[in-house]
Amino acid sequence: MSVSQSTPQPSPVAPIEPAPLFRVAAIQMVSGPDVAENLRVAGELVAEAAAAGARLVALPEYFPLISPDETAKVAIRERDGAGPLQDFLREAARRHRICLVGGTIPLVSDSDSKVRNSTLVFDERGERVARYDKIHLFGFQKGEERYDEAATIEPGRDVVTFDAACGRVGLSVCYDLRFPELFRAMGDVSLIVLPAAFTWTTGRSHWEVLLRARAIENQCYVLAPAQGGKHPGGRVTWGHSLVVDPWGEVLACRDEGAGVVCADLDASRLATVRANLPALRHRCLT
């Protein structure tokens, strides 16, 4: 596995030849403020996904912590390369011999009062092969429901892809879903992974349609592990973790509650969609 990071331009590097069939899994959780309990649940679900034959497993955004206190994430942030959250991901990937996309964890930022909301990827040897820092920070207000990620999170800047046995994989997080230019900047990818904690309000209206749109316009698979349910403290997330194919068809979905969503990525299906409708080759504007 290798990692590629780039500025928002299509990658000039040709993708590796994907495996004919490649099973992936999205982990859905309802995380709370107890980090140890969240890691216990995540570990059990990763093991379940691996036992089902998944070779790439993705955890949701904020899998180690969702708290009514938005500053709680700052208290558990880790320096890049060391810390119990990173150890958990590394050891789980190595133990189950999978590629593990670690949802997001809080890493140190330039500001003492903020974090980077970071997706880390570990290969089957437990070696880190990619890091993506969430670029687009969610802001929303409707009545008493209000979110302002910029208050505690420092945005990333780099578009990130990495090579896996299923082909090139592009990384994104939650609110990034609303910005299609990010996905175009990934270049030719076989799979987009988008860990999320979509709110119930926005998810009910936009989650599935946006994920299907990203799959259709980029002619690739999309794997979207999500938080899904009522969390301690009252927050409600939409859930509906799913896998979408390059034609925009939903292959698997879990509405709410903790669990595992598995599906097989089919290289021949990807090739057929792109051959029948060569939209990526028909692009005129960059």
Catalytic sites, residue numbers: 61, 134, 174
How confident is residue 3, by pLDDT bands cut at 50, 70 and 90? very low
User: In 3D, which of 167, 144, 152 has the Cα closest to residue 55?
Assistant: 167
Q: What is the mean pLDDT of the chain?
A: 94
Q: What is the pLDDT of residues 40-56, one digit of tens each?
A: 999 999 999 999 999 99
Q: What is the pLDDT of residues 92-111, one digit of tens each?
A: 999 999 999 999 999 999 99
**Mean pLDDT across the stretch 244-269?**
98
Cα separation values, 265 from 25, 124, 237, Å: 10, 19, 27
Give exposure, 67-91, as e/b (b: 16+ Cβ within 10 Å): beeeeebbebbbeeeebebbebbbe
Indicate the domain borders of the chain.
Answer: 22-276
* Tokens, residue 280: 């990526």
Instruction: Note the pLDDT of residue 168.
Output: 98
Judge contact between 42 and 64, C-beta under 8 A. Answer: yes
How confident is residue 14, by pLDDT bands cut at 50, 70 and 90? low
Q: Which residues contact 190 (CB under 8 A, 6 or more apart)?
A: 15, 18, 166, 167, 168, 169, 220, 221, 265, 267, 270
How confident is residue 144, by pLDDT bands cut at 50, 70 and 90? confident
What whole-number percentage of the chain has pLDDT above 90?
Answer: 88
Kindly tell me the burial class for residue 223, based on how many C-beta atoms sit within 10 Å of its own C-beta (0-12, 13-18, 19 or more). buried
Kindly tell me the burial class for residue 236, based on how many C-beta atoms sit within 10 Å of its own C-beta (0-12, 13-18, 19 or more). middle
Instruction: Note the pLDDT of residue 236.
Output: 96
Quote the pTM value: 0.92
**Mean pLDDT across the stretch 16-43?**
93
Q: Is the pLDDT of residue 191 over 70?
A: yes
Judge contact between 45 and 228, C-beta under 8 A. Answer: no
Judge contact between 226 and 197, C-beta under 8 A. Answer: yes
Q: Quote the CA–CA distance of 218 and 210 in Å, as a whole number.
A: 12
Give exposure, 249-279, as e/b (b: 16+ Cβ within 10 Å): ebbbbbebebbbbbbbbbbebbeebbeeeee
Q: Domain 22-276 carries which CATH code?
A: 3.60.110.10
Range scoring the smallest mean pLDDT among 9-13, 99-103, 269-273:
9-13
